[in-house]
Structure 1
Amino acid sequence: MIKEIVKICGLSKEEILSKLKVFEGFGVDFSVEENCLDATITMTSDASRDVFETVKSRVYNVFEEEVYSASEGSLEEIAARLLRMNNRTLAVGESLTGGEICSRLTSIAGISANFYEGIVCYNRASKVERLGVPKSVLADYGAVSRETAYAMVKGLCKRPVDIALATTGLAGPTGDEGKPVGLVYIAVGGGEFITVFERRFSGSRNEIRTATSNVALFYLIRYLKGDILRL
């Protein structure tokens, strides 16, 4: 029997299973384990290697924008390994995730060579004082906005780092600034190149926070792989 995995991030289990329906009858079985949008698809088959490889290639095409690994390892482990391999330093600014990303990264032995700083800037004043987010940006667009996420990374990039990652959003239980629970902005970049992603997550407060951490680490991985331009 042939057995391989593919790790993806950003889709619910229901969304993944729906996309996999196109492979019914091809001789490959799929099982999915998913937690807060971080998922492992296990592919098993008694078919020939040629048939399996054909299906696997098509699976990768279907999940092209969500794939981050073909082997075991957590998002933080893979991000830490890529930081080390690329000799890059990272700073992180967290609002709604409250330090979860930093905690996960610093659980990896040896990360001190590549992790410069983590800042939990939970309220508006902290974003201004610690990251230099302009007061005008907060006044015009709000703390939960594309512009604020961009400014957070811009401020982090003033440190001696190569890459910065930032999160801001609403984990609930109620919305704010006329914006809904689950609205999240994740920014990643370095120098003049900064990309901001808008996502809308559902679930409990903690599920939204963990989903944000997962997807933020995923974007960091894609950035380190040089894939972020295609997202």
Structure 2
Amino acid sequence: MRHRPPPHPAHTTEVCSRLAEAALARGLTVGCAESLTSGRVASALGAAPDAASWFRGGIVAYAREVKHGLLRVPAGPVVCAEAARMMADSAAALLGADITVAVTGVGGPTEQDGRPVGTVWFAVAGAGRTTVEERHFDGDPARVVEATVARAVDLLTARVVDPAR
């Protein structure tokens, strides 16, 4: 199933404000690892209220070698569930964050690892488990990235608000 990007970037700002409030209220720290978004997830989190109190930082692992080396992604494809899972788990350990989100995927303009443009894997690590989800977004690379950032902060916020999710 293909998913359309959110209608406006203000969605991400609004969700990050809710995330900040929940993280502060629960005393949780947050981090991220990202690839195709090139730091946009970290930028959105860092711009949220009181980020210095709850945001531990982000790791931008754009190159395949960085994912394999720094984030311990196994050899092989990087647009897959296992890559997203390892990125989230490794970022949590490296950053000392309670909850992390990771994104890896194909923004375009061509396929990667045999996966079509718009394929994105997300992982959220924290509260003793890591969950993974795959999405497919329509649009040019900028729209895929925008949709990826929005979904990443949605998933992260859901876990911070309710760690049992």
TM-score computed with the length of structure 1 as normaliser = 0.64
Question: Identity percentage over the alignment?
Answer: 30
Residue 168 of structure 1 corresponds to: 104
Select the structure of larger CA radius of gyration. Answer: 1
What is the alpha-carbon distance in structure 1 between the residues aligned to residue 101 and residue 121 of structure 2?
A: 11
Matched, 1:152 2:87: yes
CA separation of 1:125/1:224 partners in 2, compared to 1, >3 Å: closer, same or farther? Answer: same
Matched, 1:90 2:30: yes
Structure 1: segments with no counterpart, 5+ residues: 1-9, 14-32, 40-72
Amino acid at match of 2:112: D
What is the alpha-carbon distance in structure 1 between the residues aligned to residue 56 and residue 38 of structure 2?
A: 17
The CA deviation at 1:200 is 0.3
Alignment partner of 1:131 out of 71, 91, 113: 71
Cα deviations across residues 32-83 of structure 1 (Å, max 9, x unaligned)? Answer: x9237x59xxxxxxxxxxxxxxxxxxxxxxxxxxxxxxxxx61211112211
Residue 193 of structure 1 corresponds to: 129
Of the two structures, which has the highest relative contact order with CA contacts closer than 8 Å and spacing of 6 or more? 2
Cα deviations across residues 131-170 of structure 1 (Å, max 9, x unaligned)? Answer: 22233xxx2xx11000100011111122322111100000
Alignment partner of 2:7 out of 31, 34, 46: 34
Structure 2: segments with no counterpart, 5+ residues: none
User: Number of residues paired by the alignment?
Assistant: 162
Q: Could you say what the CA RMSD is over the residues aligned between the two structures, in angstroms? A: 2.3
What SS does structure 2 have at the residue aligned with 1:206?
helix
The CA deviation at 1:128 is 2.2
**Structure 1 segments of 4+ aligned residues over 4 angstroms from their partners:** 10-13
CA separation of 1:194/1:173 partners in 2, compared to 1, >3 Å: closer, same or farther? Answer: same
Residue 221 of structure 1 corresponds to: 157
Matched, 1:101 2:74: no
TM-score computed with the length of structure 2 as normaliser = 0.88
Contact 1:222 1:228 in 2 (8 A): no
Matched, 1:177 2:113: yes
CA separation of 1:227/1:200 partners in 2, compared to 1, >3 Å: closer, same or farther? Answer: farther
What SS does structure 1 have at the residue aligned with 2:93?
coil
Residue 20 of structure 2 corresponds to: 80
The CA deviation at 1:227 is 7.2
